[in-house]
Structure 1
Amino acid sequence: MRRKLLAVNDSAWLFAESHRTPMQVGMLATFRVPEDRPTFVADLVAQWREVQEFAPPFNYLFKKTPVPSWVELPHDAIDLDYHLRHSALPAPGSQRELGVLVSRLHSAKMDRRYPLWECHVIEGLEEDRWSLYIKAHHSQVDGVGGIRLLRRILSADPAARDMLPPWAVGTRGPDQSGIIRTTSEEVAVPSSGGGLAGALVGGLRGGAAVVGSLGKTYAETVTGRRDEGQAAPFRAPKSIFNGRIHTPRRFATQHYSIDRLRTIAKAADASLNDVFLTLCGGALRRYLSEQDKLPDKTLIANVPVSVREGTGASVGNAITFLYSTLGTDIDDPVERIAAIRESMRLGKARLPRVSGAAMDTYTLALMLPVMSEAILGTGGRTRPASNVVISNVPGPAEARYLDGSRMEEIYPVSLLFNGQALNITAVSYDGEFNIGFTGCRDSVPSLQKIAVYAGEELERLEAALVP
């Protein structure tokens, strides 16, 4: 059996995992049952059960020794009945019942005796709909890679039939959906070309850029001296989101028209991601204020940004991170978005403009203290590096179909760890901005309120900025 060594960044997610902190990411997609095919879901499951061929990473088994690596299993060594699950919701099959089920499914750590993925087909949703919940280990896929993998199993053609399931397509299969259009926070990185001489020169320059960026960042962390609006790791105030967490999860959703967010962004001379962070900051300010637990200093967000070269969805992660203020110390939404816009500008300016191994080195060094806490189990006992992780991932710009069943909504379900009890991740799709709120059930009570307050903050921004 062939072995593939894990990158150090990817290995960290496996070593940081525990039963209370499963390091897996998921995607919840809801589809419409075709009117002329009432038995669509049962037929789809039966069709998929016949497909017993597995592509990377669905055929990868983790082996810890002698070095962390993936072992590529033969098709007949994989038990599809374990990975493919068929469930039905109790009546009335509303978003509440779906959220309860997904919260429970996402709470469970995956068994490492099997390849680290599960595919759940869920029927019984109201209004003749069904859902697909897929989860995979974060060591194998990041948010952007996950969305690109999902695109591979969907089609822009509603007449397409007999489409392969995700495990048969994998990350190396053909992309059926055309050009990627994105509203996400992405950072352009130089390509790694130019021959041996160019690579050597680029490596030296990249190393200097990485060292310089890290030096400035951690000097600010230690001294507290930084540009006004500049956010730095481990300068965040302690909040209820930054203690020890437990196994049960809560999951809530919210969605808006992308045009609404773009209109605000244009009026505020900001990016769509700035608007998203502003909504989150306002929602968290109100949520914490109601509990009389709002810190005097602004909350700090850890914002993953994609540095993936090209459009392929490879196994592993191609992201780095920056830190941004959330303006939770500011009540006025216009002043808050201005503060966030400046903080994001400073954060992106701090990122080294390097690619490949140099960016991996930068990300590893930047996140080493955080991942060390996760691996050693000390997270939640010290000052947090950030208060919350907030991410924005690109999705398909037009409608997509699975064997003629139209995908209506798609939501990310993310991971948590000690010291980080809340994650907010958005995915754009077909003119909608879909947000998934993943929280620790014990640390973040009434999680749904944060989703509701985000919508009300959107209305405040519109009232203040849009004529």
Structure 2
Amino acid sequence: MAMMPVTDSMFLLAEAREHPMHVGGLQLFELPDGAGPEFVGEFHRSLLDLVDVRPLFRRRPRGPVGVVGQFAWTNDDHLDLEYHVRLSGLPRPGRVRELLELTSRLHGSLLDRHRPLWEFTVIEGLQGNRFATYSKIHHALLDGVSALRLLQSSLSEDPAERGVRPPWSPRVRTNVFDKPGRTEDFDPFRAVSSLVKDVFGLGPAAARMVNEAFREQAATLAFQAPKSMFNVPITGARRFAAQGWPLERLRAVGRAASATMNDVMLAMCAGALRQYMIDLGMLPEKPLVAAVPMSLRARSAPAGDGSLGGNALGLILCDLATDEVDPAARLARIHESMVRGKEVYHGMSRLQITALSAIPLVPLAIGTVPGLTTVTPPAFNVLISNVPGPRRPLYWNGARMQGVYPLSIPYEGQALNITVTSYADSLEFGLTGCRRTVPHLQRLLGLLEESLTDLEKTTA
């Protein structure tokens, strides 16, 4: 049995049919040279032969499904791999459009809590000598950073390498939650002392955050965001859109404007959302506010260690300057807002950052109360995440991964989620929206290109 941190159990407690709480990923692969028509089917069957499964992928909530407050994991000793690893085919003509429609449906269905909380689907019938895989795992098990890191560690940079194992199958067999001897170095007195120090530091830290926010004026406070078309009750059905852009285009804008690539990505989103809402006649007069998660994990942490599971995130609220007409001025405001947001957390511990970041997330945790989102102001308008990804092309038994597109979670009162990840020389955007509430989601992809083009023109 493994105890479940409160930050992880919250994702189980908040889940309902209208609010699936899993993250996902869509990966596109190019068939290797000489692959025949049976390649994808054989690939799927080979995955079912790998019966050795990581402990993380055997976890399921302990106790009856209907019990409120599940705080422990148990090990599923009867895992049915054929249930979790599936094969699907696209209807003709097998375009990206059909792929995104299938992915949207798969992402809208709940995971079975009587089983380990993950699924993996191999998808055949895709045009262009390609196939795809769609994976989803409950946010209580992994955050997006951990999931992408696990994928990266599973694939190979060598196109000639064979025997590459999927994320759920370790290279060396292990059948316990924690590594043997892991607790030998654990000092309970030091851990308690550190915890007490952090908790007592929360009061001064919270006061400092509020004081700095008012003093700087430009810092964005929670619950100051305008009401928007995205801050409404949602359904469980999803719509997904995805596309990649060359990283060098964003880097060039960043160099010209003395901004980070993440600032440019946020400005791309801001410009696209501004025009999207103008076209619908629904742009608020006040600027939209984005919640931008920041990972508290060390990038160099081993992909296979015990720290991989769970969630380790902080949160910055960013002024998207959607009331600003000029793209360059909009980017400058976004850059300033992100700098001040990071300065607020300077010198704080991981616990303090997590605790203070939870303040804007309170409405998400209690958003399942009927009618609550219609009477309370939103803490922010849209969640925009940037997850660092693989820096070099990766292969799965000779099949080159062409792209990896993240799917995330629209929350009650947060009908749109934008998550991006870097892969090789590309920045991959994944847009996940409530199917009923966010119309014409695909249109945002064209507006993202227009927004980047405008930034290139105004910062050249």
Is 1:232 matched up with 2:221?
A: yes
2:206 paired residue among 214, 217, 230: 214
Equivalent residue for 2:109?
108
2:74 paired residue among 71, 81, 92: 71
Is 1:374 matched up with 2:331?
A: no
Is 1:322 matched up with 2:316?
A: yes
Quick one: structure 1 residues 101 and 449, their matched pair in 2 at CA, closer, same or farther if it must change by over 3 Å? same
1:273 paired residue among 244, 253, 262: 262
1:198-209 equivalences in 2 (<5 Å): 206-207=198-199, 209=201
Is 1:43 matched up with 2:42?
A: yes
Whichever residue aligns with residue 23 of structure 2, its letter is V
1:422 offset after TM fit, Å? 0.2
Paired residues of 1:149 and 1:171 also in contact (CA < 8 A): no
Whichever residue aligns with residue 91 of structure 1, its letter is R
For 1:371 and 1:172, locate their aligned partners in 2 and report how far apart those are by CA, in whole Å.
Answer: 39
Quick one: structure 1 residues 57 and 201, their matched pair in 2 at CA, closer, same or farther if it must change by over 3 Å? closer
Whichever residue aligns with residue 59 of structure 2, its letter is Y
Deviations 1:30-49 (A, max 9, x none): 00001212232111111111
For 1:27 and 1:242, locate their aligned partners in 2 and report how far apart those are by CA, in whole Å.
Answer: 25
Paired residues of 1:26 and 1:134 also in contact (CA < 8 A): yes
- Identity across matched positions, percent: 38
Whichever residue aligns with residue 267 of structure 1, its letter is A
Quick one: structure 1 residues 459 and 67, their matched pair in 2 at CA, closer, same or farther if it must change by over 3 Å? closer
Residues paired across the two proteins, number? 439
Is 1:33 matched up with 2:31?
A: yes
Quick one: structure 1 residues 171 and 278, their matched pair in 2 at CA, closer, same or farther if it must change by over 3 Å? farther
1:322 offset after TM fit, Å? 1.0
For 1:227 and 1:363, locate their aligned partners in 2 and report how far apart those are by CA, in whole Å.
Answer: 19
Equivalent residue for 2:284?
295
1:450 paired residue among 436, 444, 447: 444
Deviations 1:54-100 (A, max 9, x none): 113210011256852110122xx011111111011111111100110
Equivalent residue for 1:53?
52
For 1:454 and 1:133, locate their aligned partners in 2 and report how far apart those are by CA, in whole Å.
Answer: 24
For 1:256 and 1:129, locate their aligned partners in 2 and report how far apart those are by CA, in whole Å.
Answer: 20
The RMSD of aligned alpha carbons is: 2.5
1:200 offset after TM fit, Å? 7.8
Equivalent residue for 2:180?
none
Whichever residue aligns with residue 450 of structure 2, its letter is E
Q: Secondary structure at the match of 1:279?
A: helix
For 1:171 and 1:367, locate their aligned partners in 2 and report how far apart those are by CA, in whole Å.
Answer: 41
Quick one: structure 1 residues 122 and 194, their matched pair in 2 at CA, closer, same or farther if it must change by over 3 Å? closer
1:5-44 equivalences in 2 (<5 Å): 5-38=3-36, 39-44=38-43
For 1:298 and 1:8, locate their aligned partners in 2 and report how far apart those are by CA, in whole Å.
Answer: 33
Q: Secondary structure at the match of 2:55?
A: coil
1:320 offset after TM fit, Å? 1.1
Paired residues of 2:157 and 2:395 also in contact (CA < 8 A): yes
Paired residues of 1:250 and 1:438 also in contact (CA < 8 A): yes
For 1:298 and 1:171, locate their aligned partners in 2 and report how far apart those are by CA, in whole Å.
Answer: 51
1:89-100 equivalences in 2 (<5 Å): 89-100=90-101
Query: TM-score under structure 2 normalisation?
Result: 0.90
| Unaligned ranges ≥5, structure 2 | 175-184
For 1:170 and 1:282, locate their aligned partners in 2 and report how far apart those are by CA, in whole Å.
Answer: 45
1:164 offset after TM fit, Å? 1.6
Q: Secondary structure at the match of 1:255?
A: strand
Quick one: structure 1 residues 161 and 292, their matched pair in 2 at CA, closer, same or farther if it must change by over 3 Å? same
Paired residues of 2:292 and 2:316 also in contact (CA < 8 A): yes
Paired residues of 2:52 and 2:170 also in contact (CA < 8 A): no
Paired residues of 1:34 and 1:40 also in contact (CA < 8 A): no
Equivalent residue for 2:402?
408
For 1:443 and 1:143, locate their aligned partners in 2 and report how far apart those are by CA, in whole Å.
Answer: 24
Whichever residue aligns with residue 202 of structure 2, its letter is V
1:393 offset after TM fit, Å? 0.4
For 2:348 and 2:170, locate their aligned partners in 1 and report how far apart those are by CA, in whole Å.
Answer: 31
1:249 offset after TM fit, Å? 0.8
1:307 offset after TM fit, Å? 0.5
Deviations 1:379-414 (A, max 9, x none): 522211110000000111110000110000010000
| Unaligned ranges ≥5, structure 1 | 174-192
Query: TM-score under structure 1 normalisation?
Result: 0.88
Deviations 1:318-370 (A, max 9, x none): 11111001110001000000000000011111125344544444444x25523
Paired residues of 2:286 and 2:323 also in contact (CA < 8 A): yes
1:27 offset after TM fit, Å? 0.6
